[in-house]
Amino acid sequence: MQQIVILRLGHRPVRDKRITTHVGLTARAFGAEGMLLASDDPKLTENIRDVAKRWGGNFYVTNNVNWKTEIRKWKEEGGKVCHLSMYGINLPDAVSEISLCEKLMVVVGAEKVPFEIYELSDWNVAVGNQPHSEVAAVAVTLDRIAGNDPLRKEFTDGELMIVPAERGKKVIDNRQEESQEMCREE
């Protein structure tokens, strides 16, 4: 079982609100244990925590971390760092090595990443050497390096749980006194 944490760099509170939220939710859905945000955005942090609480699991978000301190600490604890950048080694050429790593920090940027990150990272990895999005980069990376299919991951203790349906929306709401299936928009 891999321990994976996302380090989100360069988040600009107004401009990147949506994309950073999606980085966090994608990381959670694809098996990361948490996200460290190297910017101060308590509202965004709270929003992700709120979704995680409603939908289950133990995903955490830590606001306003110092990225250098976090990377140093992670490495002291025996962890490795994989920086996602379109300039890096293409993921298919690095995936077998990264998959063996038991404790992995995945770093994603926003606008421009400090050059030091390239030097501090154990791997600078591209999800294809073309520009696209941090959300796509996180999803594909976590999917490719996973031992167990992350799409089969189960989230426990959630207030809400989806019952897969061929049509329509089925959601179990555990907040109701008697657990009910209901149709709702989430």
Ligand X SMILES: C[S@@+](CC[C@H](N)C(=O)[O-])C[C@H]1O[C@@H](n2cnc3c(N)ncnc32)[C@H](O)[C@@H]1O
Q: Which residues bind ligand X (CB under 6 A)?
A: 84-86, 108-110, 112-113, 126-128, 130-134, 137
- Least CB distance to ligand X at residue 56 (A): 27
Q: Which is nearer to ligand X, 42 or 128 (CB)?
A: 128
Q: Is 111 annotated as a binding residue?
A: yes
Check: CB of residue 106 under 8 Å from CB of residue 4.
Answer: yes
- Least CB distance to ligand X at residue 93 (A): 13
Q: Which is nearer to ligand X, 13 or 128 (CB)?
A: 128
- Least CB distance to ligand X at residue 66 (A): 18
Measured CA to CA, the distance from residue 162 to residue 182 in angstroms comes to 10
Following DSSP, what letter does each residue of 136-181 receive, concatenated? HHHHHHHHHH-SS-GGG----S-SEEE---SSS--EEETTSSS-EE
Residues 6+ apart with CB under 8 A from 55: 155, 158, 159, 160, 161
Q: Which is nearer to ligand X, 104 or 110 (CB)?
A: 110
Phi, psi dihedral angles at 7 (to 5 degrees): -110, 115
By beta carbon distance, the residue nearest ligand X is: 109
Q: Is 53 annotated as a binding residue?
A: no
Q: Which is nearer to ligand X, 66 or 133 (CB)?
A: 133
CA-derived radius of gyration, the chain: 17
Q: Is 130 annotated as a binding residue?
A: yes
Check: CB of residue 171 under 8 Å from CB of residue 159.
Answer: no
Q: Which is nearer to ligand X, 95 or 171 (CB)?
A: 95
CA distances from 112 to 50, 79, 126 (A): 29, 24, 15
Q: Is 133 annotated as a binding residue?
A: yes
- Least CB distance to ligand X at residue 148 (A): 23
Q: Is 109 annotated as a binding residue?
A: yes
Binding positions: 84, 109-113, 127-134
Binding positions for S-adenosyl-L-methionine: 84, 109-113, 127-134
